[in-house]
Chain A
Amino acid sequence: GAGVSQSPSNKVTEKGKDVELRCDPISGHTALYWYRQSLGQGLEFLIYFQGNSAPDKSGLPSDRFSAERTGGSVSTLTIQRTQQEDSAVYLCASSKRRSSYEQYFGPGTRLTVT
C-alpha cells in the first residue's frame, strides 16, 4: 500500500516568509508525528497527534511553529516568519495505533531559508 507522503519535497523561501508543509499519513494510521532533522543531526521531535486527542506540542521550538491535523488524516506544519535556522529536513511519520509504537516515515521536506 501507499506509504507516508509529504509535499513539497523541497522548499526554498526567503527569510520572513511563511511556509506550509503537508503530510499524508498511511490510511488508517491514527498517530502522526512531525520531526526536524538538521544536517548531520538526529531527529528532533516537534509535535504528536493521536486520534481526536489534544496534540502533544511540547517539542515545538517557538510560537512561530504550529501544526494541525484535519479529519484525523492530513496534517500541515506551518512555520511563520521563517528564519535561517529553520532550514532543515522536516519529517512526518505515522503509526497504526498508540500502542503499536512502530513509526513509518515519509521522505521529508527539505526547507531552505535564504
Chain B
Amino acid sequence: QQQVKQSPQSLIVQKGGIPIINCAYENTAFDYFPWYQQFPGKGPALLIAIRPDVSEKKEGRFTISFNKSAKQFSLHIMDSQPGDSATYFCAASSTGNQFYFGTGTSLTVIP
C-alpha cells in the first residue's frame, strides 16, 4: 500500500513557468513532510520540508503548500530554470524512524 501518492509522474514546463507537484497521504500521524531533488547518478538532496502546523513554507524559489484537512501537500517551483530539471520526491514521516516516499516526478524545464 502506497503511503504517499505523488503526481504527476512527469512534467514539462517552459523556463520561467511554475511547475506544481502534488502529494497526498492517509496517515494523520505524519508530522514531517520533506521534498527531495535527485539528479541522475546522485542521491536525493533535501530541498525543503514542512511540519503540519504551518500551511506554507518558502525557501528561495521553492514553496511547499500544506493542506492538513485534505491531507495533501505540494511543491511549487517559481521562475523555473533548466537547471531545475531533475526528479522530485515527496516523503512523509511520523517518528523520523521510517520515511515513506512518493514515486517521484520527472521535471523537464525547456529553455
Contacts and interface: CB of A to CB of B under 8 A. Distances in A.
Interface in B1-28: 6
Q: How large is the interface on A (under 10, 10 to 19, 20 to 34, 35 or more residues)?
A: 20 to 34
Interface stretch (A12-20, A38-46, A78-86): A38-46
Interface in B95-109: 96-104
- B interface, over-half SS: strand
A56 B95 CA distance: 12
A56 B96 CA distance: 11
Interface in A72-114: 91, 93, 95, 98-108
Contact of B98 (A59, A99, A107, A108): A59
Contacts of A104: 46
Given A56-B97, A101-B96, A41 B43 contact: no
B44 A105 contact: yes
A41 B103 contact: yes
Given A42-B89, A108-B43, A103 B99 contact: yes
Nearest to B99: A45
A33 to B, nearest CB: 7
Interface residues of B, number: 23
Contacts, number: 58
B107 to A, nearest CB: 15
Which of B34, B43, B98, B101 is packed against the most chain A CB atoms within 10 Å?
A: B43
A101 B32 contact: yes
A101 B49 contact: yes
Contact of A106 (B32, B43, B99, B102): B43
Contacts of A106: 43
A31 interface: yes
Nearest to A105: B43
Contacts of A65: none
Contacts of B96: 31, 95, 98-101
Interface string B79-111: 000000000010101001111111110000000
Given A102-B49, A103-B99, 8 more contacts: A41-B104, A42-B101, A101-B96, A105-B43, A105-B45, A106-B43, A107-B41, A107-B43
